[in-house]
Structure 1
Amino acid sequence: MIKKIFSKRDLKLPIIGGLIAAASLLSTTATAEVDINQLRQQSKIMFGTLSETMPGSENDTPAMVELGKTLFMDKRLSVNDSQSCNSCHQVGNYNGSGVDNEATSPGALPGTKGDRNSPTVWNSGFQMAQFWDGRAEDLKEQAKGPILNPVEMGMPSEEAVETKISKIAEYQQSFKHAFGKENAISYDNIAQAIAAFERTLITNDRFDDFMSGDDQAMTKSELKGLQTFINTGCSACHNGATLGGNMYQKMGLVNQYPHQEDLGRYKVTGLEKDKMMFKVPMLRDISRSAPYFHDGRVETIEQAIYDMAWYQLGQKLSTQQVDDIATFLNALEHQTH
């Protein structure tokens, strides 16, 4: 049962800027039976399938990717050898969820903790920008941030990172191999290699199989959930191949989000209009990345669905609608075979 945390007032809520209309443009009236062919066509238009390659990967080499993977897993990039990129964005042997399933992640130094939930690294290079507030343009710029962040990996400077890595014999050879020259160890190349590895982290799921023509890829319950996802307006923001990650939206568009401590993109731009604006999270593999929201306050996917419908669309979904949408989101889970 979903926890009902709002009052039972009967509200007449406006349609905000055509938000719901945009999502329902291609939708049909929900029925017990789903027209699978029509739903497939809707999905192709609204979402599309994931590309097999990520933007920027055309310049990556196997040596660069392998170096990036080693760096991504290496705790020596932190000030006290306790924290790696993988500590917060766990991918392991490509089976990890891409997150640490913590509300906010512990840092390398005792008592330190990040102020936002660690987003998944899977498919991250398909997004328009990186971090919840979009402060990094791409994966390379993003990779430079956590290493020097005092509440994450805690290294004091780029020069300190270069000096530390330069003293490791295995890296002297692997950087030369990856970048084709002597003395290739630099902070910029460290970030470039990590980004190259991250560009290989592309999920594979049954939703793409369905859109590619496999009528058996998704269950009837999942297809019903997909139709509910579209009809209720979720796809107005969670669209494109990653079902998110391609726009900023106010957290609390219709009904105010109760936690206003983090003002989101406003911290980057200083613009009044950007208060409580965050990048819309991707929904691919979302079932594995709890807890949810930028502050990690919501523990279950069902509660997240219910809350988002209220904050963003002004709708109080029924338990059945929530369950339907949650069932659909399971079809977005990464398959490792």
Structure 2
Amino acid sequence: MKLSVRPLALLLPATLIACGGGSGGSDDSGSVSITEIQLGDALFHDTNLSLERTQACSTCHDPDHAFTDPSTNGNGNVRSASIGDDGVSLGDRNTPTALYSASIPEFTYGTHQRFNSPQGDYTGYIGGQFWDGRAATLEDQAGGPPLNPIEMNLPDKATVVARLRENTDYEDAFTELYGTNIFDDVDEAYSAMTQAIAAFERSPDMSPFTSKYDKFIRGDYEYSPVSKAALGKARFFSQQFTNCATCHQLRPNGNEGETFSNYEFHNIGVPVNTRLRTANGSDEGFTDTGLAAIDAVSDEPDTSELEGKFRVPTLRNVGVTAPYMHNGVFQSLDTVIRFYDRHLVSSTNGINPETGIAWAAPEVGENISFTELRQGNALSDNDIEGLVCFLYSLTDEQYEHLLPADAEECGL
């Protein structure tokens, strides 16, 4: 069975010579080479690595939609969670973008500096893949979905490796990249697969840094001083007016490579997504405790203070990757910003604009990060519009066509 989804990656002549990085080419003998990145690219797009051969990593992390899941539900809204390979199973969390995932540090406990914030240094858990940080590295994350019963649904590593070996291009590539005996050990072969996918996710194309904000940092773009986006930019980085940068700034002002997350863990009081829970058939009374439930913190004498905490996501391409929050409970950025604002004492945003009623109670009412959330001044409607516009400017150039119509009013 030859690979058909990414022909530039693997549909090569029979002799495959590993060169360890960069793009494929020819060595002095004329043999065509393949890299670990190209192999990972092919694996990322291969639906044969799911039980019914319907789902690849790229199914839920669609490259044409900023590596998120664009599938919609019966109401025409983007789904809060992705459908599994069986066409029925539905998860409980929103699919995050795979873009910039290489910038997420390995899961650890530590301290780091905050920028544009009156708050002190953060000490606590940092990083890790998935919303709860349960996969320490990209390799660990890549190994999860093929075996997850509500995702790609293969029963064990041996079955995954058997699927790999159906493809002779894969066999050639794996043996050249990882050794002639790589398939002698199922665990080693499975690990090699995750290594290749992680290499693809670490490739420059997965962290493009081509947004208007990046161009501004490089001196190739200017925000019009009278634009809504310029107002939003000033508010975002302000210590006086907002709390945005406290959790969504990684580097000092003006530095390239800003990912707009410092990868802290917080409970911000997100309510249950009741429609999603009804759709996925969760047990009545189920509570998603986030960080508190992962194995890496199981040695803690008391994990109650970790309940309800999730890793701060990147804001890159946030304008085209709705819905929002770990459970996809909100559909618009305007709603998200009003949700944050409602924590401020003087806020007038007491109503959820998507429901027309007061904000629902937090799923986990304890451990809410009020110290961070209650910093700043209540926002006006103009401030909120400006912040939305600034967030639109974090969209990479290749995805700007996906921005909603109101982006035309931002002055970008």
Q: Normalization by structure 2: what TM-score? A: 0.62
Assess, with a 3 A threshold, how the Cα gap between structure 1 residues 117 and 245 changes in structure 2: closer, same or farther: farther
Mean Cα deviation higher: 171-180 or 121-130: 171-180
Mean Cα deviation higher: 284-293 or 167-176: 167-176
Post-superposition Cα deviations, 1:40-77, rounded to whole Å, max 9, x if no partner, equal: xxxxxxxxxxxxxxxxxxx7554111110100000011
Residue 97 of structure 1 pairs with residue 94 of structure 2:
no
Assess, with a 3 A threshold, how the Cα gap between structure 1 residues 319 and 202 changes in structure 2: closer, same or farther: same
Question: What residue number does 1:297 align with?
Answer: 329
Tell me the distance in 2 between the aligned counterparts of 1:127 and 1:321: 29
**Matching residue's letter, 2:104:** Q
Is the CA contact (8 Å cut-off) linking 1:245 and 1:279 kept in structure 2? no
Give the one of 239, 258, 277 matched to 2:271. Answer: 258
Post-superposition Cα deviations, 1:135-159, rounded to whole Å, max 9, x if no partner, equal: 1111111000111110011011111
Tell me the distance in 1 between the aligned counterparts of 2:189 and 2:388: 44
Residue 274 of structure 1 pairs with residue 306 of structure 2:
yes
**Matching residue's letter, 2:237:** I
How many angstroms does 1:317 deviate by?
Answer: 2.6
Question: What residue number does 2:190 align with?
Answer: 187
The share of aligned pairs that are identical, in percent, is 31
Give the one of 100, 109, 114 matched to 1:123. Answer: 100
Residue 106 of structure 1 pairs with residue 78 of structure 2:
no
Is the CA contact (8 Å cut-off) linking 2:271 and 2:329 kept in structure 1? no
Is the CA contact (8 Å cut-off) linking 2:65 and 2:321 kept in structure 1? no
Q: For 2:88, what is the secondary structure of its paired residue?
A: coil
Question: What residue number does 2:40 align with?
Answer: 68
Is the CA contact (8 Å cut-off) linking 1:243 and 1:282 kept in structure 2? yes
Assess, with a 3 A threshold, how the Cα gap between structure 1 residues 327 and 187 changes in structure 2: closer, same or farther: same
How many angstroms does 1:87 deviate by?
Answer: 0.6
Residue 238 of structure 1 pairs with residue 248 of structure 2:
yes
Structure number with greater Rg is 2
Tell me the distance in 2 between the aligned counterparts of 1:316 and 1:307: 11
How many angstroms does 1:194 deviate by?
Answer: 0.5
Question: What residue number does 1:29 align with?
Answer: none
How many angstroms does 1:167 deviate by?
Answer: 2.1
5+ residue gaps, structure 1: 1-58
Q: How does 1:9-88 map to 2 (within 5 A)?
A: 60=21, 62=23, 63-88=35-60
Is the CA contact (8 Å cut-off) linking 1:172 and 1:183 kept in structure 2? no
Question: What residue number does 1:148 align with?
Answer: 147
Post-superposition Cα deviations, 1:154-178, rounded to whole Å, max 9, x if no partner, equal: 0111111011211221211122333
Post-superposition Cα deviations, 1:180-219, rounded to whole Å, max 9, x if no partner, equal: 53545810011000111111201321212212233x3433
Tell me the distance in 2 between the aligned counterparts of 1:296 and 1:233: 22
Tell me the distance in 2 between the aligned counterparts of 1:116 and 1:64: 30
Assess, with a 3 A threshold, how the Cα gap between structure 1 residues 120 and 235 changes in structure 2: closer, same or farther: same
Question: What residue number does 1:333 align with?
Answer: 395
Is the CA contact (8 Å cut-off) linking 2:44 and 2:56 kept in structure 1? yes
Question: What residue number does 2:266 align with?
Answer: 249
Question: What residue number does 2:7 align with?
Answer: none
RMSD: 2.1
Question: What residue number does 2:202 align with?
Answer: 199
Is the CA contact (8 Å cut-off) linking 2:261 and 2:313 kept in structure 1? yes
- The count of residues paired between Structure 1 and Structure 2 equals 272
Is the CA contact (8 Å cut-off) linking 2:322 and 2:332 kept in structure 1? yes
Question: What residue number does 1:17 align with?
Answer: none
Is the CA contact (8 Å cut-off) linking 1:64 and 1:179 kept in structure 2? no
Q: For 2:266, what is the secondary structure of its paired residue?
A: strand
Q: Normalization by structure 1: what TM-score? A: 0.75
Tell me the distance in 2 between the aligned counterparts of 1:207 and 1:144: 33
Assess, with a 3 A threshold, how the Cα gap between structure 1 residues 121 and 65 changes in structure 2: closer, same or farther: same
Assess, with a 3 A threshold, how the Cα gap between structure 1 residues 293 and 64 changes in structure 2: closer, same or farther: same
Q: For 1:336, what is the secondary structure of its paired residue?
A: helix
Q: For 2:324, what is the secondary structure of its paired residue?
A: coil
Higher RCO (CA-CA < 8 Å; seq separation 6+): 1
5+ residue gaps, structure 2: 1-19, 24-34, 71-78, 106-127, 251-257, 273-285, 344-369, 400-412
Is the CA contact (8 Å cut-off) linking 1:108 and 1:151 kept in structure 2? yes
Give the one of 223, 233, 257 matched to 1:226. Answer: 233
**Matching residue's letter, 1:238:** H
Q: For 1:308, what is the secondary structure of its paired residue?
A: helix
Tell me the distance in 2 between the aligned counterparts of 1:144 and 1:217: 42
